Amino acid sequence: MRRLPRPLQIVVALVLSTAALLSLGGGAPAQRASGTALERQGRQLFVEGCSDCHGMDAGGVAGRGPSLRGVGELSADFYLRTGRMPLAAPEDEPERTESPYSRREIHALVAYVGSFGGPGIPRVDAESGDLAEGFELFSEHCMGCHQVVGRGGITTRGIAPDLQSARPVDVAEALQIGPYVMPRFRDLAPSEVDSLARYVVSTRDPVARGGWGIGNVGPIPEGMVAWLLAGVALLLVIRLIGERTSR
């Protein structure tokens, strides 16, 4: 049988799921999806864009996407606002991109996923964090992957993103979730999370003690620049102390 084109698939899925919902719904007083108007809009977007992997009612699909019941607004906000979801293929590593959804659509999707319960979007006050404490915590927990300057790095079979565009709330959410292959750090006190967020924000514009940070990407470009400058200096010295023959 020929596969239906994608828009049609979505429409069929939508019709079927609505029908299933109506038949289930009967006289149940508090159907989840029939919450606020925002949640209904979110559900529609969810069925269209997320249900392939996460299931029609966010219950997950074995081998593809996990259940989103109970992950809360926290996870939905993190993955959608940073453009990590939707993914092209379920085995891809979620990476920060421009989200295909508008802010309003993200708001609706977050409200829908949040309607199943779970933690809300955390409050972070990076301004009140302690930079020194943040540096200490970052060195102990985060530096191995993200580098002390927050420029990101790799692990085997995974990429640790750079944190230059991470907002304080992204930091707090990632610590709770442990996205992709990152460990979770749920035992941190709220004040410690504030400090970490402040440190992460501070890495956007770090103090370059040597005077010239060269992108703060580490010793290799620094070494290359040193060799280049030293090479030019050596050539000048050679010209200075050498003599030209007349012929």
Partner 1 sequence: MTQGPRNRILRALLALVALVLGRRRSPPEPPSRDEPPLTAEREVGARRRSENVALVLLAAATLAAIGFSVDYVADPDTQVLGLCLGAALVLIGAAAALAGKRVVPREKAVGEYHEFGDERRQEEVQAIVSEPGEGVSRRRLLVVAGGTAGATLGAALVVPAASLGPRVRDRVLTTPWRRGVRLVDSHERPIDADAVAEGTMVSAFPDGAPRDSLGASLLVVRIPPGELDMSAERRAGAPEGIVAYSKICPHAGCAVSIYRHPLNPPTAPEPALVCPCHYSTFDPRRAGALVFGPAGRDLPQLPLQVNAGRQLEAAGDFFDPIGPSYGGIRTR
Q: Which residues contact residue 36 at a Cβ distance below 8 angstroms, ignoring those fewer than 6 apart?
A: 111
Please give the structure tokens belonging to residue 198: 């402040």
Q: Tell me the C-alpha distance between 154 and 97, whole Å.
A: 18
**CB-nearer residue toward partner 1: 124 or 174:** 174
DSSP-based three-state secondary structure for 65: strand
Site residues for partner 1, 175-194, by CB under 8 A, read: 177-187
148 binds partner 1 (CB under 8 A): no
Binding partner 1 by CB under 8 A: which of 5, 26, 156, 244? Answer: 156
**CB-nearer residue toward partner 1: 91 or 98:** 91
- Contact characters 109-128, partner 1, x per CB under 8 A: --------------------
- Contact characters 9-38, partner 1, x per CB under 8 A: ------------------------------
DSSP-based three-state secondary structure for 36: coil
96 binds partner 1 (CB under 8 A): no
143 binds partner 1 (CB under 8 A): yes
CA proximity to 193, closest of 243, 146, 123, 246: 123
Q: Tell me the C-alpha distance between 79 and 66, whole Å.
A: 13
Q: Tell me the C-alpha distance between 101 and 79, whole Å.
A: 12
Binding partner 1 by CB under 8 A: which of 100, 144, 206, 215? Answer: 144
- Cβ 79 to partner 1 shortest distance, Å: 11
Site residues for partner 1, 43-72, by CB under 8 A, read: 62-66
Residue written as token pair 């940073």:
82
Q: Are 138 and 78 in contact (CB under 8 A)?
A: no
**CB-nearer residue toward partner 1: 68 or 126:** 68
Q: What angle do CA 49, 53, 57 make, to 5 degrees?
A: 75
Per CB under 8 A, the segment of 20-28, 90-98, 100-108, 193-201 that binds partner 1 is 90-98
Q: Are 58 and 76 in contact (CB under 8 A)?
A: no
Residue ranges binding partner 1 (CB under 8 A): 62-66, 90-91, 93, 136, 140-141, 143-145, 153-158, 177-187, 237, 240-241, 245-247
